[in-house]
Structure 1
Amino acid sequence: MAIASSLLAPTSGLGKELTLKIAVTSDVHGNYFPYNFITRSPGDGSLARVATRVNELRDSLGRDRVILLDNGDILQGQPTAYYYNFIKTDAPHLTARMLKWLDYDAETIGNHDVETGHAVYDRYRKDLGSLPLLGANVIDRTTGKPYLQPYTVLDKNGIRIAVLGLLTPAIPAWLPETLWDGLEFEDMVESAGKWVPYIMENEKPDLLIGLFHSGRDFSKMTGEWRENASLLVAEQVPGFDFIFMGHDHTLFNSTANDKVDSSAVILNPANNANHLAEGNVTFILDDNGKVIGKKLSGQLTSLDDIVPNSAFMAMFDSEKNEILDFVNRKIGTSEGDFSVRDAYFGPSAFMQLLHDLQLTISGAEISLAAPLSFDAIIRKGDLHMSDMFTLYKYENMLYTLEMTGRELKDYLEMSYSLWTDVMNSQDDNLLLFSGLRTAAKGDYAKLLNPSYNFDSAAGINYKVDVTKPQGEKITITSMSDGTPFDFDKIYRVAVNSYRGNGGGDLLTKGAGIPHDELKSRVVSSTDKDLRFYLIKEIEKRGKISPEVVSNWKFIPEDFVKDAVRRDRKTLFGD
C-alpha cells in the first residue's frame, strides 16, 4: 500500500531545497527474520526486508538524509525475542544488536516491551548504547522525572530534527506492578503539552516528530486511562510536523483521511514489519541555510515484494540457527489437532486444553481464559517448543483470585456481549462483527472486539442465550461436578495476569470490582510466565489429546446452527 499526498507550508518560492526521508517501523513483535518461528515456515515482513528498503532509500537520497525510527513492541511476539529476553540472557540482546546494525536513530518503548519486566528492558536499554530508548511519559516515582530519555535531537545536513517519544499510559490496566515497579505513566496529552514548548524553546528544531506507541481511537477508555491518544495529541498539542502511531496494529495515513483535525502528517505502519511508514519532507532554505518553508507528505510502503537483505541475513545467521534449535525442541506428543477456530462457536479442544492446564497449575476451582491467537492450530504429531507460542501467545503470569458467584456471572455477561451479537432471527450473525464500525485492533478487522477478550469458563456448567442482551445472556446451572453454584460463595478462579490487572475491563466493568481492589483479590501468582508452566506440565504428561467438554453452549441450539456455519465462513472462509 503506498498512499502519498503533499502538504505545502507557505514559502517565498525562493531558495534551495533539501529532502529528507523518515522511515518508521512499529509493533515488529520479534519479526526479525523472513521466517515464522511459531509455524516454522517462511514469513512475511521482517527487519530483513526493512533493511533492503532502507538501503534503497539511503542509496537514492544519501545515508545522512534518511532517519530510521522504531515505535516499540519489538521485544515480544516471535520466539526470537523470547529467547533473548529469558533464555540467553548472558549475551547482548539480539534486538539491540540488530537495531544498531541497521543504524536506527531512536526508538520509543512499547507496552509489550514493558511486559518483559525490568530485568529485560533495563538490560536491553543498556545494550542499545547510544541509541536512545524514548518515553517522555514514563516517570520515575522516586525522582518525578522521566525514567527514559524523553526526546532526542538529530542533526541531518544542518537540519535539527526533534523526536518526542510517548507510550500508551494504560500499562497498569494490563501488567502486574512487579513488571513496572517504581514507575508511573502520564497522560499523553498532558505530557506532550509540557514537552513540546520545552523542546521548541530549548532546542529550536526545524522539524518536530512525535513517535507515539499509541493508536488512534481516543473515544474509548481502558480503565481510567486513555489508551489510544495519538490523534488527540495531534489535535490538542500544536507543533508536530509528523506523528507516527503504533499499538493498534492498523494502517493509517492522515493525508488520505480528511476527518483528522491536525496539520501534522500522521502515519501508522501497523505490525510485524509488513509495511514501512515513510514521511517525506523537503525543506526550503534561504541563502544562509535557514529553513524558511517545508513540504510534507506521507506514504505507507508495503514490504511484501521486498527481497530480504542478504548482508543482514548473513550477519545474524548463527543466531537464527540457535533460535531454530530452540523452537524445534520436542516437548511431547499431540494425539490430534487443536484449532482455535472452533473456540468461537462453542466448547473446543483448544480452550479445554488451556483451561485444564490453568486449573492443574493453579489448583483453582474455576478457570477463565480466551483464545489469545486469532487463528492458530496445533497439529497431530510431535509437539515442539514452537507450538507453545501457538497455545499461549503472551508472557502473562497465572493468577488465582477470589470472586463471588455473582461476579463470575456478570464477568461472563460482558465477555459474551463482546463476543456475540443479539440475534433477533435465524438470519442474524452469531458473532459481533465490526461491519461499518471500527474494529478494536487491526488483527481482528472483521470482529468488533479482539478475541483475547472472549473468555469462556471451565469448572461450571452454563448456557449463553444469544437472543438476550448483556445481563440476561448467562444462566449458570451448576458446578461441573454437579454440585450447586452459589452466587454468594467466594470461588478461587484462575486467570492470566493481563485479566487479573484489569485488562479488557471484564473484572472491572463486567464483574464490577473496583480497579484498586483487584490486587487484594489475588491469592497467588506464578513467578514466571504461564507459558513456562504450560511447557513443564506438558513435558510431565508426555502427550495431550483433543477433548471437548461440553460444559457450556449457545442457545437456542437450532436458532444458532446456521449462524455458526455462516459466521465461520465469513471469519475463516471454511
Structure 2
Amino acid sequence: MKLSTIALTIMLGLSSSTMAQPKDITIRLVETSDVHGSFFPYNFITRKAKSGSMARVYTLIEELRKKNGKENIYLLDNGDILQGQPISYYYNYVAHEKTNIAASVLNYMGYDAATVGNHDIETGHEVYDKWFKELNFPILGANVIDTKTNKPYILPYYTIRKGNGIKVCVIGMLTPAIPNWLKESIWSGLRFEEMVSCARRTMTEVKAKEKPDVIVGLFHSGWDGGIKTATYDEDASKKVAQEVPGFDVVFFGHDHTPHNSVVKNVSGKDVICLDPANNAQRIAMATLTLRPKTVKGKRRYTLAKATGELVDVKELKADEAFLKHFQSEIDDVKTWSEQVIGKFENTIYTKDSYFGNSAFNDLILDLELEITKADIAFNAPLLFNSSIKAGPVTIADMFNLYKYENNLCTMRLTGKEIRKHLEMSYDLWCNTMKSPDDYLLLLSDTQNDAQRLGFKNFSFNFDSAAGIDYEVDVTKPDGEKVRILRMSNGEPFDENKWYTVAVNSYRANGGGELLTKGAGIPRDSLKSRIVWESPKDQRYYLMEEIKKAGVMNPQPHNNWKFVPEEWTVPAATRDRKLLFGE
C-alpha cells in the first residue's frame, strides 16, 4: 500500500512538472523584396488593375496576425522600394516635401525592420536620407559604411523583441556593387564592404552583445552570379549562407528570381534561404518552432523546427481599409500621371528592339542626340514587352518609354572603343549562328527570371546605336560581329578618331561593363571621359522634348541590321514567336 502511494505521488509530481514546462512557440518571419513601387493593385503606367501589391500582402499579414498572434509575426522588407512606379517618382521628386509613400505604406503595415536596395540609393542622398528618417522602424545595412567614421551609416543589425519573449536579430546588408552602377555623388560619403567578411564580423558582435535566439540575414543581394571582381561579388547571399555560421534564415532579393532552398553552412547547420522576387507578387515566409530552455536562470530558446515557403499573393483580395487609407494619395498621383504631354501617330513596341531597328528604341536615341548634340548615341530596351499606343501620350507613358531615373551623359570615346562597346553588347544579345536553323538571339531557360525572361543575359545591356550605320554578322565569333560602315550623315567612320557619345548615367558609370570589359576603358578613367551630365533624370528631358514637338511619328532608322539576312530574317521570326507568341 505504501509502495502504491509513493508511486502515485511520484507520478503526480512528474505530471505536474511536465504540465509546468513552457510550450514551444512558433513564429513566422515574412519578407517582401524589390517591391518597386507596387503598393496598390493599380498600375499607374498602364492605368489598369495590377496583380500583387502591398495591399494584397497586407491582407495576408493581417490574417497571419489574427491566426497566430501579432507578437508571433515578424515583417521585413528587403529594399528596392523607392523606384518603379510613377507614384514613387511623384513622392521622390515632385511632392518631395510630403512623407514618402514608401515610408507611409511600410509604417501602416507595421514592418519591424528593412534594408536598403541599390535602386533606393539611386534616388540620391536627399531622397533616401529623408526616407530613412520617416520610417517608424530601423533601416539596416551592416556593410554601408560612413567614410568619415568608418562605422555603418545606418544600423548594422537590430534585435526585435516582442511579447513572446523571443529575441530575433536581423542583420542587414546591401550588394557592394553600387559603384559599378551609380555615380559617386549619389552615394558620397559612403563605401560598401564585401559581404562575407562583413557578415563574419557582424555575426561575432551580434552573438557577443545580443545573444539572440534567432539570427536572420536580410540581404539586398542575389543568390549567386552578377558582377564578380577581385574584391567582391554582386550576388553573395549563397556564399554568406554557406560560409558564415550563425544564420538560421537568409532572406535575400535583388535578382528578381523566386528562390526557396535549404543549404548547409560550413558548421553543418541547415540554413533556410528565401527570395520572393519582385513587385509584391509573393512573400517569403520562414516558420520557426522554438523550444524554451533555462540558461543561468534566464529563459532562452533553441530552434526545434524550421521550414520555408513562398506564398503567392497575386490574386488575394486587397485590404479595403488599406486602400481607403491611401485613397487621396492614389487620386493625387492619378491626376498628375494622366496629364497629356503630346501625341504619337503610331504605336511603338519594345519587343521590336531585339530583332533590329525599332521605332521605340530609335525614338529614345533620336531624342538623346537632339538633347546632347552628340555624334553617336547608345540605348538599350529597359522593358521586355511594353508599348506606347498611338494617340495622346501622358506622363504615365513616359515610365514605359524609360523605366529608370538615369541621368543623361555625353562621353568622349574613340571609334575603336565604340565598336568594342557594341561588340560586347551584341555578344550578350546574339547567338553565333552555325546554320540557318539556329536561334538568332542568345536564349536560355530563364522565363521565371523577371530580369531575363527567356534571354541568357540582361536585355537592359543590349545597346544599339544611332549616328552610325553598321552590320552585325551573327555567323562571326564573339568580338568580330560588328562592322561599322559609316557615320549616318555619310561621313567616314574612323576607329582612331574621338567622338562624343550620348549614354545614360548607368552606362557612363560602368553599368553592364560594356565600357570597361567591352570597350576596355579602365574603370577609374570613366569619370574623366564624361563631358556633360544632365542635372535631372533622362525621363524628364525626354518628356520635355515630346512636349516641345507636340505630335510625333516615331519610325525605325534602319541604320543597322543582322546579317546574313537569308539566315537572320527567318530566325528572327522563329525567335519572336518563341518569346512573344506571335
| TM, length-normalised to structure 1 | 0.95
Quick one: structure 1 residues 259 and 357, their matched pair in 2 at CA, closer, same or farther if it must change by over 3 Å?
A: farther
Partner residue, 1:221: 228
Query: What are the superposed Cα offsets for residues 409-429 of structure 1, whole Å, 9 maximum, x if unpaired?
Result: 111100000000000011100
Residues 1:344 and 2:354 are matched in the alignment: yes
CA distance in 2, matches of 1:235, 1:220: 19
Secondary structure of 2:247 counterpart: coil
Partner residue, 1:381: 391
Q: CA deviation at 1:222?
A: 6.3
Quick one: structure 1 residues 441 and 144, their matched pair in 2 at CA, closer, same or farther if it must change by over 3 Å?
A: farther
Q: CA deviation at 1:223?
A: 8.8
Match of 1:83 among 85, 90, 96: 90
Partner residue, 2:7: none
Query: What are the superposed Cα offsets for residues 530-561 of structure 1, whole Å, 9 maximum, x if unpaired?
Result: 00111111111112212111110000001112
Kindly provide the amino acid, as one letter, of the partner of residue 138 in structure 1. V
Moved more, 470-479 or 283-292: 283-292
Cα contact 1:440–1:450 (8 A) shared by 2: no
Partner residue, 1:5: none
Partner residue, 1:455: 463
Partner residue, 2:139: 133
Quick one: structure 1 residues 91 and 508, their matched pair in 2 at CA, closer, same or farther if it must change by over 3 Å?
A: same
Q: CA deviation at 1:93?
A: 1.1
Q: CA deviation at 1:293?
A: 3.6
CA distance in 2, matches of 1:276, 1:446: 23
Quick one: structure 1 residues 223 and 530, their matched pair in 2 at CA, closer, same or farther if it must change by over 3 Å?
A: farther
Identity %: 50
Cα contact 1:372–1:393 (8 A) shared by 2: yes
Query: What are the superposed Cα offsets for residues 516-539 of structure 1, whole Å, 9 maximum, x if unpaired?
Result: 110000000000100011111111
Q: What CA RMSD, in Å, does the superposition of the two structures yield over aligned residues?
A: 1.7
CA distance in 2, matches of 1:263, 1:312: 37
Partner residue, 1:442: 450
Equivalenced residue count is 558
Quick one: structure 1 residues 331 and 183, their matched pair in 2 at CA, closer, same or farther if it must change by over 3 Å?
A: same
CA distance in 2, matches of 1:183, 1:142: 8
Partner residue, 1:400: 410
Match of 2:35 among 28, 44, 64: 28
Q: CA deviation at 1:442?
A: 3.0
Quick one: structure 1 residues 473 and 449, their matched pair in 2 at CA, closer, same or farther if it must change by over 3 Å?
A: same
Secondary structure of 2:496 counterpart: coil
Query: What are the superposed Cα offsets for residues 194-238 of structure 1, whole Å, 9 maximum, x if unpaired?
Result: 100100111000000000000011475169641100001111111
CA distance in 1, matches of 2:235, 2:399: 27
For the pair shown, which has the larger CA radius of gyration, 1 or 2?
A: 2
Residues 1:497 and 2:497 are matched in the alignment: no
Moved more, 257-266 or 178-187: 257-266
Match of 1:43 among 31, 35, 50: 50
Secondary structure of 1:566 counterpart: helix
Kindly provide the amino acid, as one letter, of the partner of residue 152 in structure 2. P
Query: What are the superposed Cα offsets for residues 480-523 of structure 1, whole Å, 9 maximum, x if unpaired?
Result: 01110000001000000000000001000000001011000000
Secondary structure of 2:234 counterpart: coil
Partner residue, 2:367: 357
Kindly provide the amino acid, as one letter, of the partner of residue 315 in structure 2. D
Moved more, 458-467 or 539-548: 539-548
Quick one: structure 1 residues 188 and 250, their matched pair in 2 at CA, closer, same or farther if it must change by over 3 Å?
A: same
Partner residue, 2:521: 513
Partner residue, 1:64: 71
Quick one: structure 1 residues 222 and 46, their matched pair in 2 at CA, closer, same or farther if it must change by over 3 Å?
A: farther
CA distance in 2, matches of 1:416, 1:223: 26
Matches within 5 A, 1:124-523: 124-128=131-135, 130-156=136-162, 157-218=164-225, 220-221=227-228, 225-255=232-262, 263-286=270-293, 289-435=299-445, 441-523=449-531
Cα contact 2:36–2:81 (8 A) shared by 1: yes
Q: Which structure would you say has the larger RCO, counting Cα contacts within 8 Å and 6 or more residues apart?
A: 1
Cα contact 1:211–1:243 (8 A) shared by 2: yes
Cα contact 2:264–2:271 (8 A) shared by 1: no
Cα contact 1:114–1:179 (8 A) shared by 2: yes
CA distance in 2, matches of 1:210, 1:356: 45
CA distance in 1, matches of 2:251, 2:88: 23
| TM, length-normalised to structure 2 | 0.93
Secondary structure of 2:396 counterpart: helix
CA distance in 1, matches of 2:512, 2:470: 22
Secondary structure of 1:208 counterpart: strand
Secondary structure of 1:528 counterpart: strand
Q: CA deviation at 1:289?
A: 3.9
CA distance in 1, matches of 2:41, 2:165: 36
CA distance in 2, matches of 1:223, 1:101: 42
Cα contact 2:285–2:309 (8 A) shared by 1: yes
CA distance in 1, matches of 2:36, 2:565: 40
Kindly provide the amino acid, as one letter, of the partner of residue 235 in structure 1. Q
CA distance in 1, matches of 2:371, 2:183: 19
Secondary structure of 1:386 counterpart: coil
Secondary structure of 1:16 counterpart: coil
Match of 2:128 among 121, 125, 137: 121
Kindly provide the amino acid, as one letter, of the partner of residue 157 in structure 2. Y
Q: CA deviation at 1:292?
A: 3.6
Cα contact 2:145–2:153 (8 A) shared by 1: yes
CA distance in 1, matches of 2:247, 2:166: 16
Secondary structure of 1:443 counterpart: coil
Q: CA deviation at 1:450?
A: 1.3
Q: CA deviation at 1:80?
A: 1.1
Cα contact 2:443–2:455 (8 A) shared by 1: yes
Kindly provide the amino acid, as one letter, of the partner of residue 145 in structure 2. I
Kindly provide the amino acid, as one letter, of the partner of residue 71 in structure 1. N
Cα contact 1:170–1:222 (8 A) shared by 2: no
CA distance in 1, matches of 2:448, 2:378: 22
Partner residue, 2:5: none
Query: What are the superposed Cα offsets for residues 410-457 of structure 1, whole Å, 9 maximum, x if unpaired?
Result: 11100000000000011100010114xx68953323111111000000
Cα contact 2:26–2:289 (8 A) shared by 1: yes
CA distance in 2, matches of 1:354, 1:55: 44
Cα contact 2:144–2:154 (8 A) shared by 1: yes
Cα contact 1:338–1:377 (8 A) shared by 2: yes
Cα contact 2:265–2:271 (8 A) shared by 1: no
Kindly provide the amino acid, as one letter, of the partner of residue 193 in structure 2. E
Q: CA deviation at 1:286?
A: 3.3
Partner residue, 1:7: none
Partner residue, 1:563: 571
CA distance in 2, matches of 1:163, 1:555: 54
Quick one: structure 1 residues 417 and 501, their matched pair in 2 at CA, closer, same or farther if it must change by over 3 Å?
A: same
